[in-house]
Amino acid sequence: MPTPPYTPVVRAGELIMTSGQIGIIDGSIVDGGIAAELEQVFDNLEAVLASEGATLDDVVKATVFILDMADYAVMNEHYVARFGDHRPARSAIAVHQLPLGAQIEIEAIAFVK
């Protein structure tokens, strides 16, 4: 779960905004590289969305923060596997560093009536 001082998910009417989710479980980044991190990122993203009654199908915008653009294709594979045919708008931004040494972070905005 998150480390303070932020809120993992906020609801504003029909919009649900998640804080960036990294591949963390029990306070540590999962072992296994970018692919393992991505699986955990999506598990964490699904969990925070579910806490507000939403799913990945409700996501209308995702922002991906990635340490190395050489991992872009791997990210796309996992992204498509988890979102299926649903294609929210997306930005992907290369960054210098992420919390706890993560290689990838994803935040989302969902719309739920």
Rounded Cα distance between 81 and 16, Å, is 22
- Report d(CA 9, CA 67) in Å as an integer: 23
Strands (E), the chain: 9-12, 15-18, 21-22, 24-25, 28-29, 59-66, 89-94, 104-111
Residue 90, strand partner residues: 62
Q: What is the mean pLDDT of the chain?
A: 95
Strands 104-111 and 89-94: unpaired
> What pTM does this model have?
0.94
* pLDDT tens, residue by residue, 60-90: 999 999 999 999 999 999 999 999 999 999 9
